[in-house]
Structures are given as C-alpha cells and as structure tokens.
Structure 1
Amino acid sequence: MKEFKLENTPKIKTGFKTPEHYFDDFSAKVLQQIEKKEIKIIPIYKRKEVVAMFAAAVVVITLMIPIINTYNKSKELDEATLETYLSYQSNLNQYDLIRELDTKDIEEINQNVVLEQETLEDVLSSNPNIENLISE
C-alpha cells in the first residue's frame, strides 16, 4: 500500500469566499441593525393566554376543593374493627398490648364495669373454654 501524506496531496478549494472589505465595517452594520429593531414589551397580565391559563387554574382548584376535603377527613376506628384487626394478628399478644397502654387508657380500664348475673352466666355457659377465661 502506498504511503499517504496529507501535505503533498492537492488541496480542494471550498468555493466560499468573503467579499472584499467585508469585515472592515461588519461590526458597525450589525450595531445599526440591532438599534433599528424595537422590542415590543407586553405585560404578562395583558396577554390573553396567561389570563386564560389563570382562569383555568382557578376553575380546576375550585373543583378540587371538595374532593380534597373528602380524602382528608380522619376516620375514627370503631371498636369492632379494631378488635377484629387485633384478633387476626397472630404475632400480637396481651403483653404487647399492655406495653402500649398509657395512663389515660389504664384509668379507663379501672372504671367499674357493671355486669348482670344473667349476662355472666350466659357467657360462661356458651363458652366451652371456661378454664382459659379463668386463667386470663
């Protein structure tokens, strides 16, 4: 294969030429064109698109307020739901529950609960595991 030398090969002319004395007054011509252009400034509140977007945003926010309020309501747990949840948690025992009690909860537990004799007899007769109830 022949050795190729970049310096010895004939050069191709580009075909692009600048006119004579083009760069002598180039900066003056550019500055004249820039000064001729006057920029029209439109305040943002007078633009039709911005006003339309602002109106659309207000309508969307107004329509979203009732939906947000329904999702943010805190729902209190009723006792049955809480008891069902705790009963299905197999890794939770009575000692874990006792550890989480605070003084207010303990005071509520200490209140006297009035049980009628008939109610107590019904519970004991319907539950076959009387020994477990007594040990607890």
Structure 2
Amino acid sequence: MTSLNNINKNNPFKVPENYFEDFSKEIMSQLPEKETRNKVVPLWKKVVPWAAVAAMFVGIISTVGIFNNNSGLNPTSPKDATQQQAMLSETDEEDFYKYIQDEAAESIYIDALYSEVN
C-alpha cells in the first residue's frame, strides 16, 4: 500500500498570470453589444396624473365657492337690505296667516268629530 507521505503535496494545476484580473474584461469583450432602446411612454400616461391634479383643484375650489357663497345672506347696499326685509316680512305674514287658518280649520274639524261621537 502506498502511504500518504509518498504523494506529492504540490497542486498540479496552474492558473495563468493575471487571469482573474483580466477575467471580467475578457468576458465583456466576448459578449455582443446590447442595444439601448429609449422607452416610449404613451401620452395618456403623462396626461392622466396632471388631469387628476387639475380635477382635484377644481373640486376644492368649487366646494369652497359653494360654502362661501353668502351673497344672498349679506346685502351689499341698504336698498338690497330693505328689499330683503320686505320680502321676509311679507313671507312671514303670509305664513303666519296660513298657519292661523290651518289651526282654526283643524280645531273646527276636531270639535265636529267630538260632537258627533258624544
């Protein structure tokens, strides 16, 4: 049997000089050149975000405009105030008289119902 001591302990394989230093350069030189393509982005993908932002601002502005529309409540001149007061007083009187008439009619109806029952 051969003993392990008799086996040559030197590595039988050799690597050429500067093999690993030039390895990546050699591999890259053997690869075909890659074509660089420019991405074509459709117009709608560029426009949609801006349209969404514009729609958001239109919504905010219209909402603020609706809540801040106090032109009907705050008269700008004394003449407008007088006209508004006259309209409100006429409406109030008309509503009051209608309410009184409705109450009177209801009272007469209830009296008629109770008088028939008894």
* TM-score, scaled to structure 2: 0.30
Write 1 or 2 for the structure with the bigger share of helix.
Answer: 2
* TM-score, scaled to structure 1: 0.28
